[in-house]
């Protein structure tokens, strides 16, 4: 079983409703959650709701065979009975105004999955039917088979809108969520509050699930999800290279501060025989015994003072770097490796300060080309990722020409002047976040470079 929950635009309550559905279904089924697009935060909610690892599907990162293979592989890995996919933005919003790359519709079509539209019904009755008709007629290959109305004023409003949609667009309305300011997700400057703020978010998810149970016909939703054809996967499709057989140990920063990782990145490393050792730069005194270090994204700028106060950890990481051990950092990891964040001391592996800004510095899908062999890629490799940050490295003009940048950014911004991937010794740090499917040699190259030291 599989189903896509797609919005008709922004501010439709898609995340709260999708997460509530995942939690409600999890009371009787093993649910594997998915999120369309480059996102770490929504999937962390999904994981809390279902107790299964978060997953992403993205047609900028993956071709159709990879989308299908990744979906099937994920369900098998979790022994899941249903895959529930939360879309990104509006159903058809992608990179271009007319194409499908990066949008939810591309995932629905690749998986031949039915779509449930989540529609903000505030002040709409007959016009709600027009919206549904428009979405259905724009691309007949997208199977829109149900509608959930959000922000309905009351029973009378719901019944009138339901009648209009079902009679005029021939589409089943499976529920209506009442207006309630409590059914909102708190936000931060980079999006939703991370689900590692656990206790409050768990209570919110339970509340969302109860609202879903009271107002959505889950039996109808499951019947729609059952109406799928079998997914046909290409047996030759490899999601990533997995050639390394010799064991390595990689320390991975994972705590309240650093938690922006794709599950597939971990799995690709493990498929290359790496043992992942999770630790906390925030709470632990020093690095665990490991051959390499992986620092993902997160919120070091928010926890900067706490990270500064852990002097022993910062010294441990600096020594690890000076001993020429491999370190790979992405976005938040880059900041933690920098000299400082707004004059608050960090690890000083990269001898440059960083700072917060009022405006977003990078918000884009990214295409990168390797200028030379690096920890994660070979010279000439072209791969894809994304960036989203309000910070920047505070580089002086006379420093830039002396910095070794390993990545040329063909789409996106990077650190500066369309360059990313600062290399210092055996450390590589960039603003680009990559997904194992978009850079299928990432884990093989990283683990192989550990072995060669």
d(CA 55, CA 41): 11
d(CA 266, CA 9): 32
d(CA 270, CA 65): 22
DSSP type of residue 416: B
Helix (H) or strand (E) holding 111: helix 104-111
**Could you identify the residue written with the tokens 């990283």?**
446
Instruction: Note if 331 is an active site residue.
Output: yes
Helix (H) or strand (E) holding 264: helix 263-271
Q: Which ranges of 285-377 would DSSP assign to H, the alpha helix? A: 304-309, 311-322, 332-337
Cβ density class 238-272: b for 16+ within 10 Å, e for less: ebbbbebeeebebbbbbbbbbbbbbbbbbbbbebb
Diameter of the chain measured on Cα atoms: 70
Annotated catalytic residue within 331, 347, 437, 439: 331
Under 8 Å between Cβ of 349 and 393: no
End-to-end CA distance of the chain: 46
Under 8 Å between Cβ of 435 and 54: no
Please name every residue paired with 362 in a beta bridge, in sequence order, or none if there are none: 389
d(CA 8, CA 387): 25
Record the tokens describing residue 50, joined without a space: 């279902």
Record the tokens describing residue 296, joined without a space: 């993902």
CB burial of residue 230 (10 Å; 0-12, 13-18, 19+)? exposed
Tell me the helix, strand and coil percentages in the chain, rounded to 5: 35, 25, 40
DSSP 94-108: -SSSS--TTSHHHHH
Active site (catalytic) residues:
331
């Amino acid at each position: 079983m599989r189903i896509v929950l797609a919005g008709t635009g922004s501010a439709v309550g898609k995340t709260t409703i999708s997460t509530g559905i995942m939690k409600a279904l999890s009371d009787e089924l093993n649910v594997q959650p998915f999120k369309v697009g480059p996102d770490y935060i929504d999937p962390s909610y999904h994981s809390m709701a279902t107790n299964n690892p978060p997953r992403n599907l993205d047609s900028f990162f993956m071709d159709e065979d990879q989308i299908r293979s990744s979906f099937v592989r994920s369900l098998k890995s979790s022994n899941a009975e249903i895959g529930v996919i939360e879309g990104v933005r509006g159903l058809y919003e992608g990179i271009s105004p007319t194409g499908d790359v990066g949008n939810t519709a591309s995932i629905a079509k690749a998986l031949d999955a039915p779509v449930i539209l989540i529609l903000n019904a505030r002040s709409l009755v007959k016009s709600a039917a027009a919206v549904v008709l428009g979405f259905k007629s724009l691309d007949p290959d997208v199977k829109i088979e149900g509608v959930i109305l959000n922000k309905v004023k009351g029973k009378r409003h719901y019944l009138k809108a339901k009648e209009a949609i079902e009679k005029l667009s021939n589409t089943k309305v499976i529920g209506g969520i009442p207006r309630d300011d409590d059914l909102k997700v708190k936000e931060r400057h980079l999006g939703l509050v991370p689900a590692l703020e656990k206790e409050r978010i768990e209570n919110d998810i339970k509340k969302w699930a109860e609202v879903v149970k009271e107002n959505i016909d889950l039996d109808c939703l499951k019947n729609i999800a059952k109406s799928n054809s079998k997914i046909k996967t290409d047996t030759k499709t490899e999601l990533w290279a997995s050639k390394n057989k010799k064991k390595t140990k990689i320390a991975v920063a994972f705590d309240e501060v650093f938690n922006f990782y794709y599950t597939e990145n971990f799995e690709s490393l493990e498929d290359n025989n790496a043992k992942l050792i999770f630790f906390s730069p925030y709470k632990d005194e020093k690095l665990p015994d490991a051959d390499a270090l992986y620092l993902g994204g997160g919120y070091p700028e928010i926890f900067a003072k706490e990270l500064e106060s852990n002097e022993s950890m910062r010294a441990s990481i600096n020594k690890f770097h000076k001993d020429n051990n491999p370190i790979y950092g992405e976005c938040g990891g880059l900041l933690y490796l920098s000299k400082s964040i707004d004059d608050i001391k960090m690890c000083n592996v990269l001898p440059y300060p960083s700072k917060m800004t009022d405006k977003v510095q990078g918000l884009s899908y990214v295409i990168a080309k390797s200028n030379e062999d690096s920890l994660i890629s070979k010279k000439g490799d072209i791969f894809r990722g994304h960036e989203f940050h309000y910070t920047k490295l505070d580089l002086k003009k006379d420093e830039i020409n002396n910095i070794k940048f390993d990545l040329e950014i063909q789409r996106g911004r990077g650190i500066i002047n369309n360059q990313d991937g600062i290399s210092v010794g055996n450390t590589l740090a960039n603003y680009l976040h990559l997904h194992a499917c978009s850079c299928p040699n990432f884990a093989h190259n990283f683990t192989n470079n550990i072995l060669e030291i």
